Amino acid sequence: MNIYYAPMEGITTYLYRQLHNKYFGGVDTYFTPFISVFPDHYIKKRDEREIDPANNEGMRVVPQVLANSSKELIWIFKKLTSMGYDEVNLNLGCPSGTVTAKGRGSGFLKEPDKLGTFFDEVFDSLGDDARKLSVKTRIGYLDASEMEHLSKIYARYPIKELTIHPRIRKQFYKGVPDMEVFEKALMMSSCPVCYNGNVFTLDDYNKINDRYGYQEGSDLHDVSGGLKEGSGLHDIGGMTKDTLDIHDINGDLSKDITLHYHMNTAGSADNKISSVMLGRGIVADPSLARQIKGGSHMDKAEFKEFRRALEAMYKENLKDGNNVFNKMKEMWFYMSQSFEGSEGYIKNILKSKSYAEYLAAANTLEGNCDIKSGPNASPVSF
């Protein structure tokens, strides 16, 4: 199973990704927070830094973009692939009012016919290269029944991978994912599928994997094709395998990442997911992806080091000092959920009005609460 760190605006920025990868790892692919493409073919300076290959060394990063015109998407897609990115992800899930009002993110789901025309133009124009386009979608704008029609549209195109977050727009990130609709969408898919939503613990992951994952190793018995020369891609029965060389900042090979894609067939009850994408679960417990890969749960010493590295990184990079402790408050909102009995202490962190107040409150929580452990160490209040 491929394990992805979800795009999270304001959280999984490149500085955070670098630290997470250094201290915990376990993630096969990091997604950038969404990058808005402006009509005159322009992206913000901040987003240029997100996609600068020098800032993404040593890990596989997929840039995520927000666009609703084929011209915008084609422009950013070409820019990113010419920089060496082997995948570009289209955001069809963002629920924010300012985004949906412009018909972007989940707002694009309101207009399925326009979405179909958009994909026709994109796939026609990009030809084979369009196979590098992946999509992250919700299951509808107003109602989950929209997913049936949307699934038929997605099934018309060779999308690299379809990430399904089974909520509708108005839920934002609340309520339980609609697994019935997810299952139907998985069955209707003709491309590899990634599941996303409420995977907060190792147990949560195991349940999703047991129910929807292909069985690791099953490909060993069914090899139907060899390495396609130069592409790093293998065809293996109903699977493709993509082995990528990841380089560190010196340009040296630092690791290989092998991604497995289960090739689905529209209408087949045998369809499987290839990947699981986790967001809030990893922010809360940065060792979660590592645990999924068979590694250890974080301990207090490791957390302390990571937290101090985060503080130092924000101090160095955020010009306004207030932003540093506001950013750390946001991180603690999630991270505190990995600590036993942190409910009272987190309030003091969130109430703090200066960096000194923040630091005292964070040290108190860290000093007084143990890290939850075990496969069910569940964040409680998302």
Ligand X SMILES: Cc1cc2nc3c(=O)[nH]c(=O)nc-3n(C[C@H](O)[C@H](O)[C@H](O)COP(=O)(O)O)c2cc1C
Active site residues per annotation = 94
**Residues 84/53, Cβ–Cβ less than 8 Å:** yes
Torsion of CA 358, 363, 369, 373, to 10 degrees: 90
Residue 363's closest CA among 341, 345, 338?
345
Instruction: Please identify, using beta-carbon distances, which residue of 58 and 93 lies nearer to ligand X.
Output: 93
List, in sequence order, every residue forming a beta bridge with 251; answer none if it has no partner: none
Our finding on whether 379 is near ligand X (CB under 6 A) is: no
DSSP assignment letter at 11: T
Instruction: Please identify, using beta-carbon distances, which residue of 20 and 234 lies nearer to ligand X.
Output: 20
Q: Which conformational region is residue 58 in: left (phi greater than 0), alpha (psi within -120 to 50 degrees), or beta?
A: left
Residues recorded for the chain: 382
Spell 206-236 as b/e; 16+ CB within 10 A means b.
eebbeebbbeeeebeeeeeeeeeeeeeebeb
Using CB under 6 A as the criterion, what x/- string covers residues 219-238 for binding ligand X? --------------------
Residue nearest to ligand X (CB): 279
**Residues 195/212, Cβ–Cβ less than 8 Å:** yes
Applying the rule CB under 6 A, the residues between 50 and 109 that interact with ligand X are 64, 91, 93-94
Task: Provide, rounded to whole angstroms, the least separation between the CB of residue 281 and ligand X.
Answer: 5
**Residues 100/94, Cβ–Cβ less than 8 Å:** yes
**Residues 320/41, Cβ–Cβ less than 8 Å:** no
Using CB under 6 A as the criterion, what x/- string covers residues 122-161 for binding ligand X? --------------x-------------------------
- Among residues 1, 3, 4, 6, which is the contact residue for ligand X, using CB under 6 A? 6
165 labelled ligand-binding? yes
Our finding on whether 169 is near ligand X (CB under 6 A) is: no
- Among residues 58, 140, 197, 213, which is the contact residue for ligand X, using CB under 6 A? 197
Our finding on whether 165 is near ligand X (CB under 6 A) is: yes
Write down the H helix ranges in 189-275: 202-212
Task: For Cα atoms 102, 330, 174, give the angle at the middle one, nearest 5 degrees.
Answer: 55
Task: Provide, rounded to whole angstroms, the least separation between the CB of residue 211 and ligand X.
Answer: 17
Our finding on whether 173 is near ligand X (CB under 6 A) is: yes
- Among residues 104, 160, 280, 297, which is the contact residue for ligand X, using CB under 6 A? 280
Our finding on whether 328 is near ligand X (CB under 6 A) is: no
Our finding on whether 17 is near ligand X (CB under 6 A) is: no
Q: Which residues are annotated as a binding site for FMN?
A: 64, 136, 165
Q: Which residues bind ligand X (CB under 6 A)?
A: 6-9, 11, 33-34, 64, 91, 93-94, 136, 165, 173, 196-199, 278-281
